[in-house]
Structure 1
Amino acid sequence: MNGILPIWKPRGMTSHDCVIKVRKSLKTKKVGHTGTLDPEVEGVLPICVGEATKLVPFLTDTNKGYQATLKLGQSTITEDQTGEILDQTNVLHAIDPLKVKEVMQEFIGKIQQRVPLYSAVKVNGRKLYDYARAGEDVERPIRQVYIHELQFDYSKYLPDDKQQEIQFYVICSKGTYIRTLCVDIGKRLGYPAHMSHLIRSQSGPFQEHDTISIEKLENIQDDSSIHRYLRPLTEGVSHLDKLVVDTEMAHKVKNGQKFPLPEQIMKTDYFRLEHNGILLAIYQVHENKKEIKPVRVFKI
Structure 2
Amino acid sequence: MDGILILWKEKGMTSHDCVFKVRKMLQTKKVGHTGTLDPEVEGVLPLCLGEATKIVPYLTDTTKTYRAVAMLGFSTDTEDQTGMVQEQKAVDIPVTTQKLQEVLQHFCGEISQQVPLYSAVKVNGKKLYEYARENQPVDRPFRQVTIHDIRFLTANYDKVNKVQSIEFEVTCSKGTYIRTLCLDIGRALGYPAHMAHLIRTGTAGFTEADALTLAELQVQIDKQQEPPLLPISRGLSHLDVLEVDQATKERIRHGQKLSLPAQLPQTLFFQMVYDGQLLAIYQLHETKEQLKPARVFQF
The residue matched to 2:225 in structure 1 has which SS?
helix
Matches within 5 A, 1:54-69: 54-69=54-69
Identify the residue that residue 293 of structure 1 maps to in structure 2.
292
The residue matched to 1:262 in structure 2 has which SS?
coil
- Counting matched residue pairs gives 297
The residue matched to 1:226 in structure 2 has which SS?
coil
Identify the residue that residue 114 of structure 1 maps to in structure 2.
114
The one-character-per-residue Cα deviations of 1:129-154 (angstroms, maximum 9, x if unpaired) are 0000111000001000000010000x
Shift of 1:222: 6.7
CA distance, structure 1, for counterparts of residue 52 and residue 67 of structure 2:
27
The one-character-per-residue Cα deviations of 1:21-70 (angstroms, maximum 9, x if unpaired) are 11112111011000000000000000000000000100010111100000
Percent identity, aligned pairs only, is 57
If the length of structure 2 is used for normalisation, what is the TM-score? 0.97
Identify the residue that residue 30 of structure 1 maps to in structure 2.
30
CA distance, structure 1, for counterparts of residue 224 and residue 270 of structure 2:
31
CA distance, structure 2, for counterparts of residue 257 and residue 52 of structure 1:
21
CA distance, structure 2, for counterparts of residue 79 and residue 278 of structure 1:
45
Shift of 1:221: 2.6
Report the AA paired with residue 168 of structure 2: F
Identify the residue that residue 204 of structure 2 maps to in structure 1.
204
If the length of structure 1 is used for normalisation, what is the TM-score? 0.96
Identify the residue that residue 225 of structure 1 maps to in structure 2.
225
Report which stretch shifted further, 280-289 or 257-266.
Answer: 257-266
Shift of 1:224: 7.1
Report the AA paired with residue 165 of structure 1: S
Matched, 1:254 2:241: no
Report the AA paired with residue 113 of structure 1: Q
Identify the residue that residue 12 of structure 1 maps to in structure 2.
12
CA distance, structure 1, for counterparts of residue 34 and residue 10 of structure 2:
16
Report the AA paired with residue 290 of structure 2: E
The residue matched to 1:176 in structure 2 has which SS?
coil
The residue matched to 1:225 in structure 2 has which SS?
coil
Identify the residue that residue 192 of structure 2 maps to in structure 1.
192
The one-character-per-residue Cα deviations of 1:183-211 (angstroms, maximum 9, x if unpaired) are 00000000000000000000111100101
Given that 1:217 and 1:226 are in contact with CA atoms closer than 8 Å, whether structure 2 keeps it comes out as no
The residue matched to 1:167 in structure 2 has which SS?
strand
Given that 1:34 and 1:47 are in contact with CA atoms closer than 8 Å, whether structure 2 keeps it comes out as yes
Q: Unaligned stretches of 5+ in structure 1?
A: none
Identify the residue that residue 269 of structure 1 maps to in structure 2.
268
CA distance, structure 1, for counterparts of residue 223 and residue 143 of structure 2:
43
Shift of 1:160: 3.0
Report the AA paired with residue 114 of structure 1: Q
Report which stretch shifted further, 261-270 or 231-240.
Answer: 261-270
Task: Say if 1:188 and 1:59 are closer, same or farther in 2 by CA, change over 3 A.
Answer: same
Shift of 1:244: 1.1
Report the AA paired with residue 241 of structure 1: D
CA distance, structure 2, for counterparts of residue 99 and residue 226 of structure 1:
50
CA distance, structure 2, for counterparts of residue 63 and residue 43 of structure 1:
14
Matches within 5 A, 1:144-155: 144-153=144-153
Report the AA paired with residue 262 of structure 2: E
Identify the residue that residue 84 of structure 2 maps to in structure 1.
84
CA distance, structure 2, for counterparts of residue 53 and residue 119 of structure 1:
25
CA distance, structure 2, for counterparts of residue 151 and residue 159 of structure 1:
19
The residue matched to 2:157 in structure 1 has which SS?
coil
Shift of 1:223: 9.2
Shift of 1:120: 0.5
Report the AA paired with residue 26 of structure 1: L
The one-character-per-residue Cα deviations of 1:62-84 (angstroms, maximum 9, x if unpaired) are 11110000000010000000000
The residue matched to 1:157 in structure 2 has which SS?
strand
Identify the residue that residue 158 of structure 1 maps to in structure 2.
156
Shift of 1:258: 1.0
